[in-house]
Amino acid sequence: MIEVRFAEKGETARQKEIWKLSFGDSAQYIDFYYTHRYREDETLLLLEGGEIAAMLTMLPVRVTASSGASLNSAMLYALATHPEYRHRGYASRLLEFASHHLGQQGIFFSVIVPAGKKLFDYYRSKGFRDFFFVRQLSFDRKRLESLPVGGNNCTITAISPQEYNLVREKLLSGKIHVSYSIEDIDYQCKLSQLSGADIYGIAVEGTQGCAVIEMRGKDKVLIKELLIADQFIPTAVRHIAQLLPAEKYILRTPPFSGSQLEGSIRPFGMIRVNQGIDPELIPDGPGYLGLAFD
């Protein structure tokens, strides 16, 4: 017998097992998620014969249009099936259940960030389309030191999730983007701090910006989000490197930023209208997502 329902108390051990087998994350990271972000009422489970076989999390977000209109949506996260139950269509059943449930709740869109290139084709077959893009580039310290400086007066300071969200929404005003709750920015802040970095406010020559940064081991820094006026991006990156020295840096910016640094624009997230919702409500893309808790 197949049953799809929301999670209940006392079921996290099996979920953690599926997460570990599916994504390979450390026990520390998995425990961190279940301590700081997990909610039973946001987690769908598929059971076969009473055993949890697959799971899917629905994180509340908003898709904000260039007009400023903001539509309730859900980021689908941690979709996973236990290896013993794969190739039975259970992930598809969870996706369809989620679309039906969310549509009934008046949640307009489902947003997802595929864990790898191959999964984009899978999600396209389920009705999702490429919608959210990022510009990404990697550089070492030598290349970093050659970046042009657009201003010398730069400060970088750790800020609260509330402050971060205010700056972020101001800088993304007029652009199609995913907006997050304070709770989710707080979770990202904790993730960054766990890695040895933080979420930051940046000021270059009086121009305000913000950045989400994580350390990936001792010698790699991932700048998951950098928002600031284009001419000050190189300056901000160089000062980030002074704050967090490493051998390699990976930078993500919105697709409409950072053109002077080149890099490549790539699909990052996908969107699908939920059941019962007018497909015409999807704004014209491309959009920017930014934080996928990846």
| 114 preceded by a cis bond (ω within 30 of 0) | no
pLDDT in tens, 64-80: 999 999 999 999 999 99
Integer Cα distance of 57 and 40 in angstroms? 9
Average pLDDT over residues 7-33: 97
pTM: 0.94
Q: Note the pLDDT of residue 145.
A: 75
DSSP per-residue letters across 190-229: HHHHHHT--EEEEEETTEEEEEEEEE-SSSEEEEEEEES-
Average pLDDT over residues 24-52: 97
Q: Note the pLDDT of residue 150.
A: 63
Do 64 and 70 form a contact (C-beta atoms < 8 A)? Answer: yes
Q: What is the mean pLDDT of the chain?
A: 95
> Comparing C-alpha atoms, which of 98, 108, 120, 139 is closest to residue 223?
139
pLDDT in tens, 205-237: 999 999 999 999 889 999 999 999 999 999 999
Which residues in the chain are classed under CATH 3.40.630.30? 2-130+268-281, 133-265
Query: Terminus-to-terminus CA distance in the chain, angstroms?
Result: 33
Q: Note the pLDDT of residue 151.
A: 65
Percent of the chain with pLDDT over 70: 99
Backbone φ and ψ of 122, nearest 5°:
-60, -50
Strand partners for 132? 269, 287
3-state secondary structure 18-37: HHHHHHCCCHHHHHHHHHHC
Integer Cα distance of 214 and 176 in angstroms? 25
pLDDT in tens, 90-118: 999 999 999 999 999 999 999 999 988 89
Give the domain 2-130+268-281 fold. Aminopeptidase (3.40.630)
Q: Note the pLDDT of residue 218.
A: 87
Q: Note the pLDDT of residue 258.
A: 87
Q: Note the pLDDT of residue 142.
A: 81
- Which CATH architecture does the domain made up of 133-265 adopt? 3-Layer(aba) Sandwich (3.40)
pLDDT in tens, 142-158: 887 777 766 678 999 99
CA atoms within 13 A on the CB side of 2: 11
Do 96 and 68 form a contact (C-beta atoms < 8 A)? Answer: no
Average pLDDT over residues 21-39: 96
Q: Note the pLDDT of residue 281.
A: 85
